[in-house]
Amino acid sequence: MNIESLEKNILQIGRQAKEASRYVSQLSTKSKNEILCSAADNLLKNKESILKANELDIKENKDKLNSATLDRLVLDEKRIESISSGLVEISGLEDPVGKIIDKWSRPNGLEIEKTSIPLGVIGVIYESRPNVSADAAGLCLKSGNALILRGGSESFNSSSKIVEIINRSYENFKLHKGILQYIPTKDRNAVGHLLKMDDFVDVIIPRGGRSLIERVINDSKVHVIRHLDGICHTYIHKSSIANLSKEVAVNAKMRRPGICGATETILIDKEILSTHLPDIIKSLTEMDCEVRGDKHVLDINNSLKLANEEDWYTEYLDKIVSIKTIFNGVEEAVNHINLYGSGHTDAILSEDEDAVNFFLNNVDSGIVMHNTSTQFADGGEFGMGAEIGISTSKVHARGPVGVAQLTSFKYKVKGSGQIRP
């Protein structure tokens, strides 16, 4: 496909989505829920074709991707069942459209209602995450939005197949064909065209590595709900319980080291280096995690690699973790997180209520946690159903982006003939 025909194709997709957005916004809650359950059932019935498509992606990319990226690409029966159940879960969520957010009366008799409405057309650009295809489709349908998907070349076959199967369910309900569209090319120029379609697209949501996110932020004429990095921290306060700290810190890093909610840096108070840290390091290294630490951490275990300034800024997305010693308590930990973190998810492990409150109130992140794993940074775990991503920006949406975050609002003003003097 040459550049001219590619641009023409993307523009047509945009026009169809804009037209479809008027139809999907009017679907009843009952209809949306029935469609979602049908799509979920269809995914299960067609899991063999999804697995075959996924095998093609793995075969084409297994020598090009690191272990974390490959893990996000791989589908199996359990993951397909999880994708399907995610759609069913979304169907059970409260409909975010048409809710009266606020209402009031003016002295002149005007009645004003602030009511939730869909955003319109959402473009989602993602890399090796085929599950995003179904998650985004479900969330956008439930929130009354049209959706344009641009998956990465790594997951092209898997994502295309998932969208094809969901669209079969949409066709059975005679939905407008522009409600869910997948850009049918691996050509990277397609992203550039999508980012310029502010006449048709209302919001862009990118999910992927730093280079993708930075490109979208720099080039987009459309508003971006961004997720730049997941440089997450677990701070082990001197009042923490040793065994709890070990279990939570190890889970926060190693449950799935390649996801954005994985802890990348562990901060630990100097007072508990000798009591808490040896068991944490032992557990991590037994799980083949490379541990990097400052010189005080190396005094506890001199077999570790010395961490440097770059480590504090790094999202490893792999079996690597850096550990830094904190000398001046929770304020120093908070300052470190606000300087080096990405505003994603950060946790404190502590039994000191004052320290916990200071941390939760002063860490400038979308999600802050106490005595639990950063791997819970997930819309599904929050009871929000699936999510399109975790927003690290502060405008419009922050934290998990679920159905409620895919709506805006309008003001309905009702009068009885009032004129303004």
Q: How far, in Å, CA of 142 to CA of 136, rounded?
A: 10
Closest by Cα among 49, 40, 9, 75 to 170 = 40
3-state class (DSSP) for residue 125:
strand
Residue 262 · residue 374 · CB < 8 Å:
yes
The pLDDT assigned to 209 comes to 78
DSSP 337-404: HHHH--SSEEEEE-S-HHHHHHHHHH--SSEEEESS-GGG-STTTTTS-S-S-EE-SSSS--EE--TG
Q: Which residues pair with 346 in a beta bridge?
A: 233, 368
pLDDT tens digit sequence for 292-306: 999 999 999 999 999
SS3 string, 177-198, reads CCCEEECCCCCCHHHHHHHCCC
Q: Which residue type sits at 251?
A: N
Q: How far, in Å, CA of 132 to CA of 137, rounded?
A: 8
The pLDDT assigned to 1 comes to 59
Average pLDDT over residues 263-268: 98
Flag whether pLDDT at 216 surpasses 90: yes
Whether the CA torsion 70, 74, 78, 81 is positive or negative: it is positive
∠ at Cα 215 (120, 339), nearest 5°?
Answer: 100
∠ at Cα 161 (5, 43), nearest 5°?
Answer: 145
Average pLDDT over residues 378-386: 83
Q: How far, in Å, CA of 144 to CA of 147, rounded?
A: 10
Closest by Cα among 201, 178, 224 to 391 = 224
Q: What is the percentage of the chain residues whose pLDDT exceeds 70?
A: 99
The confidence band for 375, taking pLDDT boundaries of 50, 70 and 90, is: very high
Query: Lowest-pLDDT range, 228-237, 321-330, 351-360, 407-416?
Result: 228-237
Please state, in angstroms and as integers, the Cα–Cα distance from residue 35 to each residue in 38, 40, 81, 163, 371, following that order: 5, 9, 17, 14, 39
Regarding predicted confidence, which is higher, 64 or 168? 168
pTM: 0.87
3-state class (DSSP) for residue 78:
helix
Tokens for 94?
């409260």
Flag whether pLDDT at 409 surpasses 70: yes
Tokens for 43?
């995914």
Closest by Cα among 119, 115, 117 to 148 = 119
Q: Domains along the chain?
A: 3-225+401-414 (3.40.605.10), 232-376 (3.40.309.10)
Q: How far, in Å, CA of 200 to CA of 257, rounded?
A: 37
Q: Would you call 19 exposed, middle or buried from its count of C-beta atoms within 10 A (0-12, 13-18, 19+)?
A: middle
Closest by Cα among 345, 341, 340, 338 to 376 = 345
Q: Which residues pair with 323 in a beta bridge?
A: 266, 293
Q: How far, in Å, CA of 96 to CA of 250, rounded?
A: 37
Average pLDDT over residues 58-81: 89
Q: Would you call 307 exposed, middle or buried from its count of C-beta atoms within 10 A (0-12, 13-18, 19+)?
A: buried
Residue 380 · residue 389 · CB < 8 Å:
no
Radius of gyration from C-alpha coordinates of the chain: 23
3-state class (DSSP) for residue 81:
helix
Q: Taking the CB of residue 105, how many other CB atoms lie within 10 A of it?
A: 10
The confidence band for 228, taking pLDDT boundaries of 50, 70 and 90, is: confident
The confidence band for 226, taking pLDDT boundaries of 50, 70 and 90, is: confident
Average pLDDT over residues 112-128: 96
∠ at Cα 169 (164, 170), nearest 5°?
Answer: 90
